[in-house]
Amino acid sequence: MKKTTLLICILITQFGWSQSDGLLKNRQLRLNFINPGFTFEKSISNSSSLLFQSEIIYGFNVRGNETTHLFAPLIETQYRYYYNLNSRKEKQKNISNNSGSYLAATTMYGLKPLNNDNFISRYDGFTFGALWGFQKTYKSKLNIGAEIGLGYNMSENQPKKVVHLIGIKFGYVLF
């Protein structure tokens, strides 16, 4: 499944949809700082895009006097619908580099921590869900964003369950 998902992501980014003539930037690559990684966003219409993201997430676990720091790879895809671009444009607010609010369907796959194969995380495995979020890119190409939602996690290590999805982004738009 991992290889199939990766192949689909590569094919979509290479041979994707035709260029949109609208409000969203056709292609955008960002470098993320909080959780180091890259985000590629491709517009598929005037108000929607596909997002592909890979990053290293940080977490920690405290048991008694012992604290374990964890670094785990995460691969995520999103379908985003930007619902307020026209009103932002009419109000002469910034919509460059896909600045606006969105609703998203998301899928993510969390791998085991790089520095501790034995740790059992509640986010290992496959998660899908729904998000509300926003992002803003400044003239300096600095990008900030936040998102919140609910998901359903299917992990080999834990029972299947509903999980909260919260993300804060800070990065730089490369192109």
Spell out the alpha helix ranges (H) of the chain: 2-15, 85-90
Average pLDDT over residues 50-76: 88
Rounded to the nearest integer, the mean pLDDT of the chain is 83
CA distance 148 to 166: 5
CA distance 86 to 27: 19
Res 118: pLDDT: 67
pLDDT level of residue 20 (50, 70, 90 thresholds)? very low
Phi, psi for 28 (deg, rounded to 5)? -150, 130
Nearest to 105 by CA among 137, 147, 145: 147
Residue 164 pLDDT exceeds 90:
yes
Residue 120 pLDDT exceeds 90:
no
Q: Which two tokens stand for residue 42?
A: 């491709």
pTM score, whole prediction: 0.78
Residue 111 pLDDT exceeds 90:
no
Q: Which two tokens stand for residue 96?
A: 């460059």
Contact 30, 173 (CB under 8 A): yes
Tokens 């990684």: give the residue. Answer: 37
CA distance 146 to 167: 5
> In a 3-state reduction of DSSP, which class is residue 98?
helix
Res 131: pLDDT: 97
Res 67: pLDDT: 84
* DSSP label of 33: T
Contact 119, 68 (CB under 8 A): yes
